[in-house]
């Protein structure tokens, strides 16, 4: 299985052509002709007692399906089986982007920009301390009230008291120990 996975992720883009006994860059008609010849030779109905022939037939069908699909063939010719795997995972339109972003120069550029701007850590810390923890949350300027929350229990009590006094509802803002407002 490990040997099959390693072969499936090659970047040479020649194995499928070798399965069909063709040179890389073969025409559509050459692929079709070679496929028919090999499919007849290794068909499971013609080789009922040979499990290797059935396996070879599956490989031939896979090679034919990939090489006759224009977009898959372009990806395979450029990036090999790894490109087909990436296309399956992220979509055919994202293959070029994936390989561009995984190149050494893109990784280096990302590292240099991050180090120069300090942006790796600053964005995460800013978000966490302001939103999650609230410990570094900016204080309200002098003379302005901070936002307060009214707990549901306090709200119910206030409504009950107001209804008993004559129906006028008044909602004072009281600070609640919890940072969550719901």
Domain match, 97 and 144 both: no
53 compared with 179, residue with greater pLDDT: 53
Domain match, 88 and 7 both: yes
Domain match, 18 and 84 both: yes
Residue 84 confidence (pLDDT) above 60: yes
CA 51: distance to chain centroid? 37
How many separate domains does the chain show?
3
Domain match, 15 and 63 both: yes
pLDDT at position 7 is 47
| CA-atom Rg of the chain in angstroms | 33
Mean pLDDT score, 101-118: 80
Domain match, 70 and 14 both: yes
Domain match, 22 and 40 both: yes
Q: How confident is the model at residue 98 (pLDDT cuts 50, 70, 90)?
A: confident
Domain match, 90 and 117 both: no
Residues 69, 77: contact at Cβ < 8 Å? Answer: no
Domain match, 162 and 130 both: no
Name which of 115, 135, 116 is nearest 125 in CA terms: 135
Structure confidence by residue, pLDDT tens digits, 165-174: 765 555 555 5
Residue 5 confidence (pLDDT) above 50: no
Mean pLDDT score, 117-143: 59
Structure confidence by residue, pLDDT tens digits, 50-75: 889 889 999 999 999 999 999 999 99
Domain match, 54 and 90 both: yes
Residues 87, 95: contact at Cβ < 8 Å? Answer: yes
Which residue range is the domain that position 90 belongs to? 2-102
pTM score: 0.56
* % of the chain residues with pLDDT over 70: 65
Domain match, 6 and 95 both: yes
Mean pLDDT of all residues belonging to the chain: 76
Domain match, 98 and 112 both: no
Domain match, 6 and 34 both: yes
pLDDT at position 65 is 93
Q: What are phi and psi of 111, to 5 degrees?
A: -65, -45
């Amino acid at each position: 299985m490990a040997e099959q996975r390693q072969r499936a992720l090659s970047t040479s883009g020649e194995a499928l052509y070798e399965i069909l006994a063709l040179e890389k860059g073969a025409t559509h008609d050459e692929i079709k002709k070679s496929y028919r010849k090999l499919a007849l030779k290794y068909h499971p109905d013609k080789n009922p007692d040979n499990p290797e022939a059935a396996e070879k037939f599956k490989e031939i069908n896979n090679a034919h399906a990939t090489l006759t699909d224009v977009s898959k063939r372009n990806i395979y010719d450029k990036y090999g089986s790894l490109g087909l795997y990436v296309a399956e995972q992220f979509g055919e339109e994202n293959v070029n982007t994936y390989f561009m972003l995984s190149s050494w120069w893109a990784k280096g550029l990302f590292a240099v920009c991050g180090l120069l701007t300090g942006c790796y850590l600053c964005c995460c810390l800013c978000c966490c301390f302001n939103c999650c923890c609230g410990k570094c949350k900016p204080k309200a300027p002098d003379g302005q009230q901070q936002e307060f929350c009214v707990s549901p229990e306090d709200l119910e009590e206030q409504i009950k008291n107001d209804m008993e006094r004559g129906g006028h509802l008044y909602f004072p803002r009281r600070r609640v120990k919890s940072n969550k407002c719901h």
